[in-house]
Structures are given as C-alpha cells and as structure tokens.
Amino acid sequence: MAATQADLHPQLPLALRLREGMDFASFVTPPGGEVAVERLRALAMGEQGGQAWLHGPAGSGRTHLLEAAVRAAGPGASLLPAGELAGLSSAVLEGMESMRLLALDDVDELAGCPEWEEALFHVYNRCLESGTILVFSASASPTESGFALPDLVSRFASGPVFGLARLDDAGLAELFRLRARRRGLSPGEDVARYLVSRCRRSPAELVALLDRLDDQALVRGRRLTIPFVKEELGW
C-alpha cells in the first residue's frame, strides 16, 4: 500500500485512504487520453522521472488517475487533496520532497492564496532537487488555473500538460461493465447501454447505481437484467 500523508505527518487531519479499485486496470481511458495514461503509468513505475499535469472537467477521471499512480508507485508515494489542504498551514508541505512520488489533486484550489503559492513554489523546487516525481490535477491548464506567481506557473507548465475529456456513452457503458465484472457480475451490453441512456452521464452516478443494484441483486437473488433495473430504479 502506498504511504499516506498521515504516515509521514501525523498532524494532518486528512485521513486519506486510496479508494478500493482505483487503479490503472479499472480506468477507462477517454478519447485522446492514451498518452496521459501511459505517462502516469511510466512515472508511477519509475520508468520516467519528472512531472505531469492533468486537467479536465469533473468526471474526466483526474482523481482516479492520481490514485492509480500513487497505488502503482507503492511505498513512498502520497496523494494530497488540495481542497482539504487549504484550511491548514502551508507548513504541512515541509518534508514532502522525501517522497518518491507526490500527487496533488485539485491543486488549483490553492490558486490565489499567496501563502500557498509560495509554499508550492518552494516544495516544487525541493522536489526537483531530490528527484521526487510530481503529479498535479486541476480543472484547467497551469496558465488558466488562476495562479498569480509567475515562477510557479512556469514550473507547473514546464512538464507535460494533458487535457482529459469526459467519457462518451460507449466509454461509460464500458466502465459500468468493467466495474460490475470486478464484483463478479456479468451484465450484458444492453443493460449497460440502457443505464447510460437513462442516468446522468457521470462515472460517479454509474458507480452509485451499480452499488444499489449490486446490493439488491444479492438480497433478492436476481441477475442484472433490464427488467430488474427497471423494477429496482422505477424506470
């Protein structure tokens, strides 16, 4: 299991744990995202050094990929959610250059805060010197994420920057079937397509529906079929 930040900094009240099943094998690559996925895989496995910046809308899989990278990197890797860091002292970043891989999710949540921008600038430089691999996610590219410190923006933008798209309907159906198979279920393609056509187009929504259907299928001894889905969800 990859190290959590709490292992290294007990004062951090983040209690982050990597979510079950969030690995490269369970990631369905959106159209045009192949290079980004391979870059993160290579960074996590130590085949390359440096950094990567992922950006895209909600539901594009940014957090999943960061978790997958941290999981694959193993001990010495850590995932920090910038949205939770914002309420803490920037001193929590001290010593992070000792990590083999450091992933900062939603790092643009810290944009516009001088204290945090300065801290990010310094931890970036320390990680560069120590050889720590850096992976960032944000909703936009480094130059469009709202950071005011020019030197910080230039460092963020100095490595590969990848834009991720949302999954199309075919990708969402593939995601549903993949996650279902991991639970020992075997819904047909027709079930996956039916769910995607009726629910909100987001991975989180599909996984939540799978949780519900899986529980009820087990309780009632039913298979995942379109009639069962209609009955359970009231569609």
Q: Which domain holds residue 219?
A: 169-233
Domain boundary among 108, 138, 163: 163
Q: Pick the residue with more confidence: 108 or 15?
A: 108
**What CATH number has the domain bearing residue 149?**
3.40.50.300
Q: Tell me, what's the pLDDT at 99?
A: 94
Q: What is the DSSP string of 167-222?
A: P-HHHHHHHHHHHHHHTT----HHHHHHHHHHS-S-HHHHHHHHHHHHHHHHHHT-
Domain boundary among 163, 181, 213: 163
Percent of the chain topping pLDDT 90: 71
The mean pLDDT value for 57-76 works out to: 93
The mean pLDDT value for 162-187 works out to: 92
pLDDT in tens, 202-230: 888 998 999 999 998 888 888 899 999 99
The mean pLDDT value for 77-91 works out to: 91
Domain boundary among 163, 188, 207: 163
Residues 147 and 177 in one domain: no
CA-based radius of gyration for the chain: 19
pLDDT in tens, 102-147: 999 999 999 999 999 999 999 999 999 999 999 999 999 999 999 9
Q: Pick the residue with more confidence: 229 or 2?
A: 229
